[in-house]
Amino acid sequence: MSLSADTVPALPRGVRLHHDHVRDRWVLLAPERTISLDPVGHAILSEVDGTTPFGGIVDTLAAKYSAPAAQIATDAGEFLQGLADRRIVDLRP
Partner 1 sequence: MSIPAPMAMLAELTHRCPLSCPYCSNPVELTRKEAELTTGDWLDAFRQAAELGVLQLHLSGGEPVSRRDLPELVAGARAAGLYTNLITSGIGLGEARLDALEAAGLDHVQLSLQGTDAAMADRIGGYRGGFDRKMQVAGWMKERGIPMTLNTVLHRQNLHQLPRAIEMAQEMGARRIEVAVVQFHGWALPNRAALMPTRAQSDEATRIVTEARARLKGKLVLDYVPADYHTEKPKRCMGGWGMVGLNITPEGTVLPCHAAETIPHLRFETIRETPLRDIWYDSAAFNAYRGDAWMQEPCRSCDLKKVDFGGCRCQAMALAGDPAATDPVCRKSPLHAEIQSCAEEVATSATADFSYRMM
Residues that bind partner 1 (CB under 8 A): 12-16, 18, 20, 22-23, 27, 29, 31-32, 34, 84-87
Q: Which SS3 state, helix, strand or coil, does residue 29 take?
A: strand
Q: Residue 64 or 86: which CB sits closer to partner 1?
A: 86
CB of 45 to partner 1, least distance (A): 16
Q: Residue 32 or 38: which CB sits closer to partner 1?
A: 32
Contact 19, 39 (CB under 8 A): no
CB of 48 to partner 1, least distance (A): 17
Q: How far is it, in rounded angstroms, from Cα 41 to Cα 28? A: 10
CB of 17 to partner 1, least distance (A): 11
Q: Residue 28 or 72: which CB sits closer to partner 1?
A: 28
Half-sphere exposure of 30 toward its Cβ, with a 13 Å CA cutoff? 15
Contact 26, 38 (CB under 8 A): no
